[in-house]
Chains A and B, each alone.
Chain A
Amino acid sequence: MTSQVIEMQAGTGQQFGGNQSSPANREIAVSLKNCSLSFGEVQVLNNVSLDIYKNEFLSILGPSGCGKSTLLRLMLELLKPSEGGEISYSSDKPSIGMVFQKPVLMPWLSAIQNIELPLGLGEKKKFTKKEAREKAEGALQLVGLQDFKNHFPHQLSGGMQQRIAIARALAADPAVLLMDEPFGALDEFTREKLNFELLRLWESPDTSLSTVVMVTHSIQESVIMSDRIVMMSPRPAGVEAIIPVPLPRPREVGMEEHPAYYQTVKELRKRVKHL
């Protein structure tokens, strides 16, 4: 099966949002070219090509088991594409943060220590102990768990653990943030709150965060948050379509009433059915 890249315009084709100049003249943050990947006999990714731009919020939608997590692992260079595939980054290799599908917390470390963990890793230490503590505390505040600073993972609920994992990724000040269903385990209230918190953070000039790639199962979430949505086909997965979201920025609560929101959701639903 060959995958085709269809750039389609939802709605009237009218462009909203000041920072969305046409992709052609935008700076690329991560670029995948003809990436295929197999685990033994099982082919998971089939010829995936995808450019991800700076200052972009990109969501990836696709059926379970199609290779979304695998795609993120390629971007993290935890896996290598097979012959012919290529992954390149903007000239200054961006610092990448990752939120895994599972929280992956160290059970012997407290919440704050877990968040500090990546800050202290690597040959050249980027932060002093004091800086690391401050960054960790800031990130903890961001996810609203400052009161659970000294709790251990087994004393936290599943959703709280996932928020610690998000805080851990944010604390390291990444330029590119990869998230694998980060809000999947959360209740609707926390989920919506964190959706917008993340958007504020991404928009804020105070953080170095410029690109977010988020895998999600929720069509609504992908539309409300992203600039573009990548639809993946079933395994062996390719890029089925890339759908731009013509909603203005900044995104706000209540934008679900926007006609462009409806149209994009409808379009995505139709495509999901056809997969």
Chain B
Amino acid sequence: MSDKIKTILYPFGFAVGFLIIWELAVRLFAIPVYLLPAPTAIVSVIDANLGSHMMVTLMEALIGFLLANILGFITAVIFVHSKPIEKGVFPLAIALKTTPLVALAPLLVVWMGTGYSSKVVASMLICFFPILVNSVKGLKAIEFEAWELFSTYKGTKWEIFWKLRLPTSLPYVLSALKISSSLAIVGAIVGEFVGANKGLGYVVLVSSYHMDTPVMFSAIIASAACGLLLFWSISWVEKKLIFWQRVDEV
């Protein structure tokens, strides 16, 4: 059996086994549904409605993710080219990072209301730091001799950026994207907890009020699926783009 098939088949086999044991355990010990619903009970509540909530969360997370990464990368470029700005702004970025998002989320809702924007910003806040730190590291990671090579052949600052710094930073950037792909969902859901009328966070919250555990489970699973979807997409892009560097698996 080829390794490729094994890497798919083994986890799949274990997952199926786990679900079967779960189902049997719930039935055998007659566990009440509000404590632990059986997998079949969870599947039965998955419907188009859940799908639409999932799309909402996914969109919020995706927009926050994209904006944060663009902004974070641009900030990193500015940092790398200006020591004073880096020295002045980096502590602020760290302060922002150490402030728990959960503490900030209510403020965001006060400022921006219960619509999309507060969730997008929550998601941005959580995604901003990984890309900033990794991009700064990556843009600075150029080999000294490579810089000397460009200088010897009269390469301009612009050329050093496009042809040396940018490609050198790509592996670092992609690794930040992988980290923040799952964080983006966290940001959106935290935003929805605080104030929203749609999205997976909202579903989880409302179903907990109603002790509707199967729906709650379905929303949790959907949020995990969102994170996986983003993570796998980024991993795929990374494999295509960074062919020269061996990827360390997370």
Interface residues of A (CB under 8 A from B): 73, 76, 78, 96, 98, 100, 102, 104, 106-108, 117-118, 121-123, 152-154, 172
Contact = CB atoms under 8 A, between A and B. Distances in A.
B154 interface: yes
Nearest to A102: B145
B148 A121 contact: no
- Please name the 7 residue pairs, one residue from A and one from B, whose CB atoms are nearest each other, closest first: A107-B244, A122-B154, A118-B153, A121-B155, A121-B153, A104-B145, A108-B167
B156 interface: yes
Given A73-B148, A100-B145, A106-B146, A122 B153 contact: yes
B99 interface: no
Interface of B: 143, 145-146, 148-156, 159, 163-164, 167, 170, 243-245
B151 A78 contact: yes
Contacts of B164: 106
Instruction: Output the residue of A76, A117, A152 with the most chain B CB within 10 A.
Output: A117
Contacts of B243: 152
Interface SS of A by simple majority:
loop
Contacts, number: 51
Given A122-B154, A122-B155, A122-B156, A107 B143 contact: no
Contacts of B245: 107
B159 to A, nearest CB: 6
Given A104-B149, A106-B167, A108-B244, A121 B154 contact: yes
A245 B154 CA distance: 35
A122 B156 CA distance: 6
A41 B148 CA distance: 23
A96 B145 contact: no
A107 B141 CA distance: 14
27 contacts: A73-B148, A76-B148, A78-B148, A78-B151, A96-B152, A98-B149, A98-B152, A100-B145, A100-B149, A104-B143, A104-B145, A104-B146, A106-B163, A108-B244, A117-B153, A118-B149, A118-B152, A118-B153, A121-B153, A121-B154, A121-B159, A122-B153, A122-B159, A123-B154, A152-B243, A153-B244, A172-B153
B127 to A, nearest CB: 25
